[in-house]
Amino acid sequence: MKYNDKNIPIADIKAESVIAVIYDGDNPEIRAQGCFFRNYSEDIMRISHESDRESIVVELSRDGIYHLLPETLFFLENRLLIKKKKSIGNAEIANESAIKEEVKKQIVEKKHLLTFFKFFDIQYFKTSLLLEKEIYETENIQTGFILKYFFDYDLNREENSYIKKLAPLLIYSSQLRGDLLLLPEILSAVLNNRVEIKRRNIFIGQNSESLPLIEFIVHIKGLSVTEYKELTTAYEAFFAFVNEWFLPAGTDYNYKIKDTIQQFVLNEKQIILDYNTQL
């Protein structure tokens, strides 16, 4: 994603945009933790799926309705503070115990308030999420039209799932072409595995003319022989697509799937030449 000719880190994308893309179920449960956490956390602090709930739970570093209301209207936060006193005599000890009991009651009272206001937070997020989904679907329609009209590429007929994820970036291909610093991050996100790029020159012909070669290395651990062959075939069309639209003209390429963690052991059944072997 780009804004004002600068790349936006994924962490800076708002929660509605992320949920609209990755979540197709019912509206998630929202727990606003307050803007205090924004200095330490991303917009989405955590996404979880609790066993007793059908929908996912999204914790946000945002103020909810409770946080936006005047502090003294429903609850006094100062009542949660325990003032330490010197333990002089049994009277002081008993008083301190009473203070702790009172604080426990206040914590339960605040929890009930947050539960009450959670409904409004969920409804507000639901409206914002529906709007974001409408924008996302509209952008998809426009993206498909632009790709068909300007690039003669029909996104709806694409069968390769990896290409289908990358194809919308064709709109920015003139800016992304040859950006070998950003490209590994994009490919890693599309393939959901770390992609490394190595550059070298190969020599061809009798005059030993050099040709730039870009080598893509996809790091995946623990593939079986069958899985390795299937992925190698699936990646063939994908990296041909990457070469056509995102690599500099006159550049050759190849790709490998590597597991550099597993050590080479003779007579090991799972050893696959050029995948988890280091020769």
In a domain, 118, yes or no: yes
Do residue 32 and residue 85 come from a single domain?
A: yes
Longest dimension (CA), the chain: 99
Do residue 14 and residue 130 come from a single domain?
A: yes
Do residue 179 and residue 95 come from a single domain?
A: no
Do residue 188 and residue 219 come from a single domain?
A: yes
Do residue 113 and residue 15 come from a single domain?
A: yes
The total of structural domains in the chain comes to 2
Do residue 114 and residue 169 come from a single domain?
A: no
Of 84-93, 226-235, 262-271, the range with the lowest mean pLDDT is 84-93
Residues 212, 199 contacting (CB under 8 angstroms): yes
Do residue 134 and residue 178 come from a single domain?
A: no
User: In this predicted structure, what is the pLDDT of residue 240?
Assistant: 93
Report the C-alpha gap between 153 and 166 in whole angstroms: 12
In a domain, 273, yes or no: no
Q: What is the pLDDT of residues 125-149, one digit of tens each?
A: 888 877 877 776 666 677 778 888 8
Do residue 174 and residue 240 come from a single domain?
A: yes
In a domain, 67, yes or no: yes
Instruction: Decide if pLDDT at 58 tops 70.
Output: yes
In a domain, 89, yes or no: yes
The angle formed by the CA atoms of residues 11, 17 and 20, to the nearest 5 degrees, is 130
User: In this predicted structure, what is the pLDDT of residue 237?
Assistant: 92
Other C-beta atoms closer than 10 Å to the C-beta of 191 total 21
In a domain, 276, yes or no: no
Chain Cα centroid distance, residue 237: 25
In a domain, 250, yes or no: yes
Q: What is the pLDDT of residues 183-231, one digit of tens each?
A: 999 999 889 888 999 888 776 666 666 778 899 999 988 888 888 888 9
Identify the top-confidence range among 8-17, 235-244, 270-279. 235-244
Q: What is the pLDDT of residues 74-90, one digit of tens each?
A: 766 666 665 554 444 44
User: Residue 158 class from Cβ within 10 Å (0-12 exposed, 13-18 middle, 19+ buried)?
Assistant: middle
Torsion of Cα atoms, 53 then 58 then 62 then 64, to 10°:
-20
Do residue 65 and residue 128 come from a single domain?
A: yes
pLDDT band per the 50, 70, 90 thresholds, residue 241? very high
Q: Quote the domain boundaries for residue 49.
A: 2-141
In a domain, 28, yes or no: yes
Instruction: Decide if pLDDT at 17 tops 50.
Output: yes
In a domain, 49, yes or no: yes
Do residue 171 and residue 121 come from a single domain?
A: no
Q: Average pLDDT of the chain?
A: 75
